[in-house]
Amino acid sequence: MTFVWKGIDHIQVAAPKNSEDKARAFYGKLLGLPEIQKPESLLTRGGCWFQCGLQEIHIGIDEHFQPAKKAHPGLLVENLNQLKKHLQQQNIDVKTDAPIKGRSRIFINDPFGNRLEFLEMN
């Protein structure tokens, strides 16, 4: 092979039409991810983008939206317990699952019903 895998640039999470304000309140304000400017060529599609470490989370508008109940991004975080407390204080339902060796993890749903996983390496 002559190509080399370098990593992930971004993930995209779908959301219903006209939900940008809700996405900004959740991903931007609640989770504290900085919003980044979408390229001019994509502005008419709606949605919004956020920086998550070196990667990006793109909230894409889907006319026929269905939440992702199983498929999900796994987002790395430091101090998972603090994040868990913060989410619970905001009345977000935090779930756990079977542990994975070397990783602590929790799950939540975004305001659109998409599953999100947060992990901390042990």
pLDDT digits (tens, 9 = 90+) for 52-106: 999 999 999 999 999 999 999 999 999 999 999 999 999 999 999 888 999 999 9
For every residue of 13-53, DSSP letters joined together read EEE-TT-HHHHIIIIIIIT-PPEEPPPGGGGGG--EEEEET
Domain presence at residue 94:
yes
CA–CA dist 31, 86 (Å, integer): 9
Model-level pTM?
0.94
| CATH number of the domain enclosing 40 | 3.10.180.10
Structural domain of residue 93, as residue ranges? 10-121
Domain presence at residue 2:
no
Domain presence at residue 19:
yes
pLDDT of residue 121: 94
Domain presence at residue 16:
yes
Domain presence at residue 3:
no
Domain presence at residue 47:
yes
Given a contact cutoff of 8 angstroms between Cβ atoms, the answer to whether 12 and 31 are in contact is no
In tens, the pLDDT along 6-29 reads 999 999 999 999 999 999 999 999
Domain presence at residue 4:
no
Based on the structure, what is the number of domains in the chain? 1
